[in-house]
């Protein structure tokens, strides 16, 4: 079973919650320490809480669901194992009005499965615990955003100095509390900043840089990470095929550290002369020719690739901004980046294999020729919607031949327009219907994918059924609608 995903929120150390004197919580079982963190609080009296957990929660219960003979069977083992399987971070058991003490069998089960168990005293309400968790999360988020914002400003100022490359490296090393190095195209250290690590770590970082440096006959990732003797290593390829690499060795690696290093990578990509190879001029020429009426396949050779991928990406916690979009493009290895209202689109040569990017949900099209760029854009959008609904970091469009390929395109489009005419004028309805069908009729996942309430999804689907005069519970109807929606 894959590890459950946790929400894209700053984690809160369980110790910080236990330190709140107003809550008077007490840990009575399970592991403890700074490494135990929670991503939220959820109250449930279900005997099987698995379907209701996203992962990382402090689950709160008063034990209403516990049967009278639970202590003599496997009830508590089953209950705790399901929490652990769902990714629950800890369990809080409230005393009174149902139980005067925490059941011993529950304590033993939490100890056996390594699940922290907290005793919640009668005077502490579950809503009070949840509010405290959200307050701590808000404080952590504010501190994280402030740190990243201050780092972005200092890095931008450093890039404007007369010695920009060493200045950016110094700021990066200071902000992450480690060592930063710029490797040349031949792997030599061009410039460094910060306290140099041990030779073992230094050598490992150099090898990691070789992993992301473009090769002659192999596609290379745009970033890579490793850990050696407790030091976290990161390497970022600069620009599209330049050969320069940024290396970072630091005592920790969290989303804020990654965001700061990504900004530095973008700045260094510009400072190391990305236009030296002529790619900047070639892109400008391609853009001018497109604006003057040239076909995509005619200008694509100027961009240096024959087949392409389209990537749609969206941050997990906030709307994308220009710095984040540029950083993502640099990480994926392409300067062809488009920042829209809520999504970043990247045009990527097909020989560059996109990988999951921390903090982002990615949808990747199949490889296409330039004349198929619009179709690939649609594929990437659908893949991104599925990635967000399933909380997967990356989803690829499936390229297998389909039955729909047997129907001529013109006939399929005409059929689709006729069938969907009653709802085609309302994009919210068609988008909701498409997403709901792609997720097998799941209200919750559709709500997540569209960033709306599940009741809104229910209302829209009911409206679609009424307008289309169709039974949306009928699998044949769903199949026809799905076929039609794919043609639009």
Query: Among 10-19, 57-66, 171-180, 288-297, where is mean pLDDT lowest?
Result: 288-297
Model confidence at 242: pLDDT above 70: no
Contact 108, 11 (CB under 8 A): no
Residue 269's pLDDT band, with cuts at 50, 70 and 90, is confident
Nearest alpha-carbon partner for 222 in 330, 83, 346, 382: 330
CATH of 406-487 among 3.30.70.2660, 1.10.10.2840, 2.40.420.20, 3.40.30.10: 1.10.10.2840
Q: pLDDT exceeding 90 applies to what percent of the chain?
A: 41
CA angle 337, 338, 344 (to 5 degrees): 95
Going by the DSSP 8-state scheme, the letter that residue 320 receives in this structure is: -
Is residue 75 predicted with pLDDT exceeding 90? yes
Q: Where are the beta strands (DSSP E) in 308-390?
A: 308-315, 337-339, 344-349, 360-364
User: Which pLDDT belongs to residue 277?
Assistant: 45
Interhelix angle 475-487/427-438, rounded to 10 degrees, is 120
pLDDT of 274 > 50? The answer is: no
* 162 pLDDT above the threshold of 70: no
pLDDT-derived band of residue 292, with 50, 70 and 90 as boundaries?
Answer: confident
Contact at 8 Å (CB) between 15 and 31?
no
Q: What is the predicted pLDDT for the residue at 276?
A: 44
pLDDT tops 60 at residue 406: no
Burial of 385 (0-12, 13-18, 19+ CB in 10 A): buried
Three-state SS at 306: coil
What distance separates the 2 farthest-apart alpha carbons in the chain?
79
Give the burial class of 67: count Cβ atoms within 10 A of its Cβ; 0-12 exposed, 13-18 middle, 19 or more buried: exposed
Band of pLDDT at residue 218, cut at 50, 70 and 90:
low
According to DSSP, the residues that pair with 180 across neighbouring strands are 193, 248
297/111: higher pLDDT: 111
Query: So what's the pLDDT on residue 275?
Result: 40
110 contacts 117 by C-beta, under 8 angstroms: yes
Determine contact, residues 352/331, Cβ cutoff 8 Å.
no
- What are the residues facing 13 on neighbouring strands? 37
Q: What is the pLDDT of residue 1?
A: 43
pLDDT at 387: 83
- Condensed to tens digits (0 to 9), the pLDDT of residues 419-455 reads 899 998 898 999 899 889 888 888 988 888 888 898 9
Cis ω before 108 (30° cut-off from 0): no
Give the pLDDT of residue 280. 61
How is residue 430 written in tokens?
């068609």
- What span, in angstroms and rounded, lies between the C-alpha atoms of 262 and 444? 33
Distance CA 381, CA 435 (A): 11
Q: What distance in Å separates the CA atoms of residue 384 and residue 312, rounded to the nearest whole number? A: 6
What H or E segment, with its residue span, contains residue 300? none
> Has residue 403 got a pLDDT over 60?
no
**Nearest alpha-carbon partner for 266 in 282, 248, 246:** 246
Q: What is the residue-wise DSSP string for 190-257?
A: EEEEE----HHHHHHHHHHHHHHS--SSS---SEEEEEETTEEEEEEE-TTT---EEEEEES---HHH
Mean pLDDT, range 101-129, rounded to an integer: 96
- Mapped onto helix, strand or coil, the DSSP state of residue 276 is helix
Is the pTM for the entire model greater than 0.95?
no
String of DSSP letters for 335-355: S-EEE-SS-EEEEEETTS---
Res 311: pLDDT? 93
What's residue 307's pLDDT?
Answer: 85
pLDDT tens by residue, 225-238: 999 999 999 999 88
Evaluate the omega torsion of the peptide bond into residue 378 and state whether it is cis, within 30 degrees of 0: no
Taking domain 161-274, whether its CATH number is 3.30.450.30 is answered by: yes
| pLDDT value of position 296 | 78
CATH entry 3.40.50.1000 includes domain 12-136: no
Is a pLDDT exceeding 90 seen at residue 268? Answer: no
Q: Is the pLDDT of residue 341 over 80?
A: no
> Cα(153)–Cα(146) distance, rounded to whole angstroms?
11
Half-sphere exposure of residue 257: CA atoms within 13 angstroms, side-chain side: 20
Q: Assign 279 a pLDDT band (cuts: 50, 70, 90).
A: low
- pLDDT classification of 240: cutoffs 50, 70, 90: low
Checking if the pLDDT of 3 tops 70, the result is no
Mean pLDDT of the region 134-153? 89
Domain-by-domain residue ranges, the chain?
12-136, 161-274, 303-396, 406-487
Do the Cβ atoms of 326 and 339 come closer than 8 Å?
A: no
Tell me the per-residue pLDDT of 457-485, one tens digit each, with 9 for 90 and over.
999 999 999 999 989 888 888 888 888 88
């Amino acid at each position: 079973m894959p590890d459950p995903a946790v929400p894209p929120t700053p984690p809160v150390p369980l110790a910080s919650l236990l330190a709140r004197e107003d809550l008077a919580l007490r840990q009575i079982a399970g592991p403890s320490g700074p490494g135990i963190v929670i991503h939220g609080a959820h109250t449930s009296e279900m005997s099987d809480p698995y379907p209701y957990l996203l992962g990382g929660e402090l689950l709160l219960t008063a034990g209403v669901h516990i049967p009278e003979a639970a202590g003599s069977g496997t009830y508590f083992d089953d209950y705790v194992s399901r929490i652990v399987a769902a990714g629950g971070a800890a369990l809080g058991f409230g005393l009174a009005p149902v139980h005067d003490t925490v059941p011993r069998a529950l304590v033993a089960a939490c100890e056996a499965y390594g699940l922290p168990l907290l005793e919640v005293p009668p005077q502490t309400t579950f809503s009070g615990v949840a509010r405290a968790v959200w307050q701590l999360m808000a404080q952590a988020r504010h501190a994280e955003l402030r740190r990243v914002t201050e780092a972005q400003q200092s890095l931008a100022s450093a890039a404007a100095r007369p010695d920009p490359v060493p200045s950016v490296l110094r700021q990066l090393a200071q902000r992450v509390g480690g060592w930063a190095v710029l490797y040349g195209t031949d792997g030599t250290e061009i410039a460094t900043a910060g306290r140099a690590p041990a030779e073992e770590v230094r050598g490992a970082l150099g090898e990691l840089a070789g992993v992301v440096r473009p090769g002659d006959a192999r596609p290379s990732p745009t970033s890579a990470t490793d850990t050696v003797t407790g030091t976290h290593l990161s390497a970022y390829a600069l620009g599209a095929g330049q050969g320069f690499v940024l290396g970072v060795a630091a005592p920790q690696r969290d989303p804020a550290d990654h965001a700061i290093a990504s900004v530095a990578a973008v700045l260094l990509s510009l400072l190391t002369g990305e236009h030296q190879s002529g790619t900047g001029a070639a892109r400008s020429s391609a853009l001018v020719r497109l604006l003057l009426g040239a076909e995509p396949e005619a200008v694509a050779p100027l961009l240096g690739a024959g087949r392409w991928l389209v990537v749609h990406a969206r941050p997990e916690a906030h709307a994308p901004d220009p710095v984040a979009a540029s950083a993502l493009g640099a990480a994926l290895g392409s300067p062809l980046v488009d920042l829209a209202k809520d999504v970043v689109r990247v045009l990527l040569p097909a020989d560059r294999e996109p990988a999951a990017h921390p903090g982002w949900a990615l949808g990747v099209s199949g490889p296409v020729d330039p004349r198929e760029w619009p179709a690939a854009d649609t594929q990437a959008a659908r893949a991104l919607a599925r990635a967000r609904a399933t909380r997967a970091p990356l989803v690829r469009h499936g390229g297998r031949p389909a039955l729909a390929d047997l129907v001529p395109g013109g006939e399929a489009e005409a059929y689709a327009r006729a069938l969907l005419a009653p709802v085609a004028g309302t994009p919210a309805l068609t988008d909701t219907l498409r997403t709901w069908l792609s997720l097998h009729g799941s209200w919750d996942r559709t709500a997540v994918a569209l960033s709306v309430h599940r009741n809104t999804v229910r209302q829209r689907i009911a409206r679609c059924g009424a307008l289309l005069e169709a039974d949306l519970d009928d699998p044949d109807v769903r199949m026809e609608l799905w076929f039609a929606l794919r043609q639009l």
